Amino acid sequence: MVASNIARKGMGRILDGIIKYRQTLRPALLEEFQKVATGPSPEGLLLTCVDSRVVASRITQAVPGQLFIVRNPGNLVPHHNCFRNNVTVGGECGALELACSINKVQVIVVIGHSDCKAMNLLYSIRNELKSPSKGPLEDWLRFHGRGTLEQFKKLESSSGFDRKLVFAGAQHSEDDFEAYIDPRNEFKPSDKFSQINTLEQLKNFLTYPFLKERLNRNELEVHALWTDIYKGEVYMFSFQEKTFVKIDESTYKTLALQCV
């Protein structure tokens, strides 16, 4: 038995967690693993941030075999051009093919969050982009976050951050959509930046040929979620209401009807 009164860190803490898992969760999870051992039928792919405070499987209450989960700094979706001619090989492209082309999942969800350290960094250097990058994280954010920077400039140009933004099509190429970012002005500018970034990723799914075909046939849908990690609230972007709507008992039915 692991001593509970000893604070451990690093690999020791990980090993302690595994022992606790064996003693508490393993029996129940073993039943779930056995159910999907021979034929898992995943229903969706979540693309979220690597931030250790974002635990997508918990907020969605997913069980083993239900979801693919892809994580990278800033929940960014690289444009398909990045992977053409095998110039660059990325896990995002492979995961999208595995989930959507091979396993035929029905939904892709990009999940952003408040106080995103990756987005905070990009936000902080937004006016210093002519300066040399300080490392691979900045390189990643500068390259794949260009659209986010452009959209935020438009929002920032309005005195009250209340300008309507237009994003490129998410479900179909011709279906551009409008968005009002934080219309109640509840979040700080860097969190507004994070919400913009989450929406900006949706257009890039259409750049993947194997996704575009399924999107155009309405066999696949894409959505955006955003979490306030300090309040534990989850928001869904409503294409009808043109803003992020808090998911709770009063909004659930309306939001569910907006899903294909």
Do 158 and 145 contact (CB within 8 A), yes or no? Answer: no
Give the per-residue pLDDT at 159: 76
Give the per-residue pLDDT at 161: 87
Give long-range contacts, CB 8 A cutoff, 24+ apart: 100-105.
100/45, 100/210, 100/211, 100/214, 100/220, 101/210, 101/211, 101/214, 103/42, 103/68, 104/219, 105/42, 105/43, 105/44, 105/45, 105/68, 105/220
Give the per-residue pLDDT at 1: 46
Give the per-residue pLDDT at 40: 77
Q: Superfamily assignment of 41-257 in CATH? A: Carbonic anhydrase (3.40.1050.10)
What whole-number distance in Å separates Cα of residue 142 and Cα of residue 144?
A: 6
Q: For tokens 């939904």, what's the residue?
A: 107
If the chain, 260 residues long, is cut into consecutive pieces of 10 residues, what is the mean pLDDT of each piece? Answer: 62 93 91 83 95 94 93 96 71 93 96 98 94 94 96 90 90 85 96 98 94 92 97 97 97 92
Give the per-residue pLDDT at 4: 52
Q: For tokens 């909004």, what's the residue?
A: 251
Residue pLDDT, tens place only, 23-44: 999 988 888 888 888 877 899 9
Residue type at 67?
A: L
Question: Is 172 labelled a binding residue?
Answer: no
How does strand 243-246 pair with strand 107-113? unpaired
Residue pLDDT, tens place only, 97-144: 999 999 999 999 999 999 999 999 999 999 998 899 999 999 999 999
Give the per-residue pLDDT at 88: 65
Question: Is 100 labelled a binding residue?
Answer: no
CB atoms within 10 A of CB 127: 9
> How far is CA 164 from each of CA 29, 34, 69, rounded to the nearest angstrom?
46, 49, 31
Question: Is 223 labelled a binding residue?
Answer: no
Q: Cα(first)–Cα(last) distance of the chain, in Å?
A: 48
SS3 for 152?
helix
